[in-house]
Structure 1
Amino acid sequence: MGAVGAGPRAAQADNLADALVGAYNTSGLLKQNRALLRAADEDVARAVAALRPVVTWTTQVTRSFTDGVSRFGVSYNYDDSSFFTGLQLDALLYDGGASRLRKQAAQETVLATRQSLLQVEQQVMLRAVAAYVNALIAEENVRLRENNLRVLQEELKAARDRFDVGEVTRTDVALAEARVANAQSGLATARGELASARAEYVNVVGHAPGKLSGQPPLPRIPASEKDAQSVAQRNHPQIQAVQHQVKAAELNVLSASKAYGPTANLRLSAGITEYSGTSFSTDNAAASVVVQQPIFQGGALAATHRRAMAQRDAARGNLLEVKDQVVQAVTDAYVRLNTARASLKATEEQVRASRVAFDGTREEAKLGARTTLDVLIAEQDLLDALTLRNQARGELSFAYYQVLFAQGLLTAEHLGLPVQIYDPTLYYNMVKDAPARLSKRGKDLDRVLQAIGKK
């Protein structure tokens, strides 16, 4: 399991787990793809229904007119009306297994759609990580620039005081004023970036961020890139989705091949016919078995079969492509992770050296050994170093979660989020047997759909 936990919220500080929970519970993209999964579930129900008898009720009113001449040369004409009502049952007896193969293909499509839903969940989770980290970076940048502005304002005050006593020139004061103005501009830019980061956070998480609790805990990941690739090849939802798509395509090929063979259907009918103007009526009942086999359909059957084979071959080719993409994504994630580690280490050293340089330059300036410009340059170098370290910390956090994403493990269940995990089997189990609308299960489904519509 991952290392993200909600934990206590003593000061109502938002941590990464809060952001992930909000994204999971409010994502419109997840709701959309859950609905698409329910649609795929219903395709299984439709395939099951195709294997069952179909009963229809028919009512027919007929008005007939007759005008003729008998063989004796006598003309005659009359009209008649009749009313028929009855039931008809049609049942499939044999189609070479094509209908059952289509049902199995629909089931494989359901499994593929479930994996696609997991991949969408991963995308939502990764976007939430990015939103949290970017908001955190933007907040820290604002704090750094606010502090930088205060320091520069102090430097400006000191420069003016020293100018009043003749220790520095008007140029030194102007330089300090320019740096203050530049810092004010930088602070305005940083606040704008923070506003944009907060807007993205609201869009992804569903609510505005409170006080962010700092860099998130780093999840456990495989020690080596090779181990991570093995995990990805076994578990990644994109690979598993395409594997099920290949199976569905293979079943569709078999189903299409059955269309060349015979089919047998049973038809039963019963009803009553009444004739107008008389009290005469008849009871009708009939039973028939119809066996058919296509001989010529203009090449449509062969084209359908070849089309199914082409789609199967395309699915197999896509599987190879997706496997390569997943392996490459793991490699890219580890490259990003290693780069982030090296960058953070370098910026830590840069901050240390810049702070020593700034403190030393400021002290030397008090003794007259350094100019105001030297102090301002050292202050800017320190601000740049602190900004780079802040960005490097955020990049490292994001890189760890991108490794999880590349393995197919950035899901609410794997992260151990305190949410009610969406169970894709619940709806499927209710519809897989194609319940009738007026049955008990059909009424239960109506209540489920009403509840879903209110969310």
Structure 2
Amino acid sequence: MRIVSSFIALGVMLAAPDANAQTLQETLRLTLINNPAIAAAEIELELAEETLLVARAARSIEISTGVTTQLQSVSSNRLFGALAGETFISQASIEASIPIFTAGEIAATISQARYSLEAAEYALAAQKQETLLSAINAHLGVQFAAEQVAIREQNLIRLERQLNAARDRFEAGVVTRTDTALAEARWRGAEAQLAGAQAELEGARARYLQITGESATQPALEGLPVGMPVSIDEGIDRLLEENPNLQRYVALEFMAGEAIRIAESRQRPRVELFGSASIQDGRWDNEFRDESAILGARASMPLYTGGRLQSAVRQAGMDRAQLRLRRDDARNQLIAMFAEAWAQHRAATSSAIAAREEVRANEVALEGAEIEVSVGLRTTLDLLDQEQELLEAQLRLIDAEKNVYLSASQILALLGALGA
């Protein structure tokens, strides 16, 4: 199951890019900066950080203050209406409270927020892997669409040369009009195929712009992806340890466990200390100054809630069980995806090596066919068929090379190993 030797054999296929070429690292860097899906996942991470801060603040003392100013007008027909008249009253107060015992709710809430932050980190990592894989696909799409255009342009030039040669042989009486018609038909067909390839290139450029936020210039590759596992067994071991989606499910399962603790704690007693101080001052018709201070403890415990709290505990337990099943399902799916990507990579590697040799053989065969046609040993149709064989082999080669790189990138994405 080793593929290192295949990598070495394929290394020569991906030549170093030109100085003005747009490297894959540049594409990935642009994606990380400009892609909105990654930016949205980063905001989710920031929200999780704020949630953790809120959870930690719940165990701290809480202090509030207030100021009230009012004008009070009182008239009375009582004999001793001491408060009658207009009084300008100002009042200031300060209150403080701190939880002493919450049956573990605050600790569980903080722990839950930590796991939520961890899950958000893994979600961001998974989003980056997914988006970077899309960026690699877009990069490869533009590069190999451009190569297809170049191949079809060269094919069109060769077919035009064959058409002119067929016309010359027809004028010399060596071939019939059928030969020139065949050559012209192939040439016209190649024109249409070139137009289709150019349209595919424009579509690939549009997808590149969508993913990276920048226009493609001249995408190129330099070497093969690094960090590939040596065997499928090693890859699956790394998958189970490093895949960000699996790690996210683990964090979510721990979050659900803390939710059970929170639900259970709400059935138990709670104790808090509280205190307050206030001052009230009166002016004009009635002048006075009142000061007060309170310090106390408050204990509470639910006695009857109609089964609501017990139901919350059961719901939290079912949520955790559901997440555990989803994690197991995700693990099985990821193992299957990895095995499929591994098989595709091996097949693409073999296809690329074979296609390279096929192109070389067809180039030699085409050269021989051109010579044989010139001396009357081959027909025009034979030459056109050989030209078509070379074209198809060249297209198979660039498709296989694209699949080699893309399947390797899919493997690395499953391992969480793609990066700019």
TM-score, with structure 2 as normaliser: 0.88
Write out per-residue CA displacement over residues 81-110 of structure 1, whole angstroms, 9 at most, x where no aligned residue. Answer: 654321111221211121111011101111
Q: Among the aligned pairs, what percent are the same residue?
A: 27
Match of 2:48 in 1: 40
With over 3 angstroms needed to count, the CA separation of the structure-2 counterparts of 1:157 and 1:214, relative to structure 1, is farther
Between the aligned partners of 1:185 and 1:195, the Cα distance in structure 2 is 16
Residue 192 of structure 2 is aligned to residue 192 of structure 1? no
Write out per-residue CA displacement over residues 278-316 of structure 1, whole angstroms, 9 at most, x where no aligned residue. Answer: 011211211221111111122221122122111111222
Equivalent of 1:322, from 308, 330, 335?
330
Between the aligned partners of 1:34 and 1:174, the Cα distance in structure 2 is 62
- Aligned ranges for residues 266-281 of structure 1 at < 5 Å? 266-275=273-282, 277-281=285-289
Give the secondary-structure state (helix, strand or coil) at the position aligned to 1:130. Answer: helix
Q: Is the 8 A contact 1:136 1:215 kept in 2?
A: no
Q: Is the 8 A contact 1:68 1:76 kept in 2?
A: no
With over 3 angstroms needed to count, the CA separation of the structure-2 counterparts of 1:41 and 1:76, relative to structure 1, is closer
Match of 1:242 in 2: 249
Give the secondary-structure state (helix, strand or coil) at the position aligned to 1:18. Answer: helix
Match of 1:379 in 2: 387
Residue 267 of structure 2 is aligned to residue 260 of structure 1? yes
Match of 2:208 in 1: 201
Q: How many residue pairs are counted as aligned between the two chains?
A: 403
Match of 1:104 in 2: 111
Between the aligned partners of 1:68 and 1:261, the Cα distance in structure 2 is 54
Superposition deviation, residue 161 in structure 1: 1.3
Write out per-residue CA displacement over residues 35-80 of structure 1, whole angstroms, 9 at most, x where no aligned residue. Answer: 110100000100111111211112346769899999xxx9999788
Match of 1:4 in 2: none
Q: Which amino acid aligns with 2:328?
A: L
Q: Is the 8 A contact 2:140 2:219 kept in 1?
A: no
With over 3 angstroms needed to count, the CA separation of the structure-2 counterparts of 1:305 and 1:14, relative to structure 1, is same
Residue 342 of structure 2 is aligned to residue 334 of structure 1? yes
Between the aligned partners of 2:268 and 2:152, the Cα distance in structure 1 is 78
Superposition deviation, residue 214 in structure 1: 4.4
- Aligned ranges for residues 167-182 of structure 1 at < 5 Å? 167-182=174-189
With over 3 angstroms needed to count, the CA separation of the structure-2 counterparts of 1:285 and 1:388, relative to structure 1, is same
With over 3 angstroms needed to count, the CA separation of the structure-2 counterparts of 1:188 and 1:10, relative to structure 1, is closer
Write out per-residue CA displacement over residues 155-186 of structure 1, whole angstroms, 9 at most, x where no aligned residue. Answer: 11111111222222222222211111111111
Between the aligned partners of 1:68 and 1:309, the Cα distance in structure 2 is 67
Moved more, 276-285 or 257-266: 276-285
Give the secondary-structure state (helix, strand or coil) at the position aligned to 1:260. Answer: coil
Between the aligned partners of 1:364 and 1:214, the Cα distance in structure 2 is 39
Write out per-residue CA displacement over residues 338-395 of structure 1, whole angstroms, 9 at most, x where no aligned residue. Answer: 1212322332343244334333332222122322222112211210111011100111
RMSD between aligned residues: 2.6
Match of 2:20 in 1: 12
Q: Which amino acid aligns with 1:235?
A: E
Between the aligned partners of 1:80 and 1:305, the Cα distance in structure 2 is 57
Residue 348 of structure 2 is aligned to residue 347 of structure 1? no
Between the aligned partners of 1:297 and 1:53, the Cα distance in structure 2 is 28
Residue 300 of structure 2 is aligned to residue 292 of structure 1? yes
Task: Show structure 1 runs of 5+ residues with no match.
Answer: 1-7, 418-455
Residue 167 of structure 2 is aligned to residue 160 of structure 1? yes
Between the aligned partners of 1:80 and 1:45, the Cα distance in structure 2 is 48
Residue 367 of structure 2 is aligned to residue 359 of structure 1? yes
Match of 2:378 in 1: 370
Q: Is the 8 A contact 1:215 1:397 kept in 2?
A: no
Q: Is the 8 A contact 1:16 1:216 kept in 2?
A: no
Equivalent of 2:409, from 397, 401, 404?
401
